[in-house]
Amino acid sequence: MGMEDYGGGQPAQSEVLVVTTNDVPGYQVTQVIGEVFGLTVRSRHLGSQIGAGLKSMIGGELKGLTKTLVATRNQAMERLVEQAMARGANAVLMMRFDVTEAADVGTEVCAYGTAAVINKI
């Protein structure tokens, strides 16, 4: 498995800058648009459930579930960026992830933050 299987984030040429901070050094916030979020819910397939159950008995990383969670977070992030662009933003400030179990059938991942317009100083 490659590094992209275990990580995420924006491509280098993204139209919307997503940061986990209040400010972006060298930029000024000229407009705050408001909260945006990207949400997805993924179920786990039977094979990964069985594999995870067996692996939990002996310990170690659940690589199949890790890959699924990375893909889920990336999809939530893509939806966050789409929402920000649709509202006229070129940045999302204070981005966070929220992850919860959804009725024992899957995992809900929400990427959220504040959509804004920023300009270089």
* Tens of pLDDT, residues 3-55: 566 676 777 677 899 999 999 999 999 999 999 999 998 776 555 555 555 55
17-18/27-43 β-pairing:
unpaired
CB atoms within 10 A of CB 94: 15
| Residue 109 in this model has a pLDDT that exceeds 80 | yes
Residue type, 51: G
| Residue 100 in this model has a pLDDT that exceeds 90 | no
For the segment 72-100, the average pLDDT, to the nearest whole number, is 94
Residue with tokens 């990336």: 74
d(CA 38, CA 44): 20
Residue with tokens 């199949």: 64
For the segment 57-61, the average pLDDT, to the nearest whole number, is 67
For the segment 103-115, the average pLDDT, to the nearest whole number, is 87
d(CA 109, CA 102): 9
Return mean pLDDT, the chain. Answer: 83
Tokens of residue 22, six digits: 């209040």
Q: How far is CA 93 from CA 1, 9, 45, in A?
A: 31, 14, 34
Residue with tokens 């990427």: 111
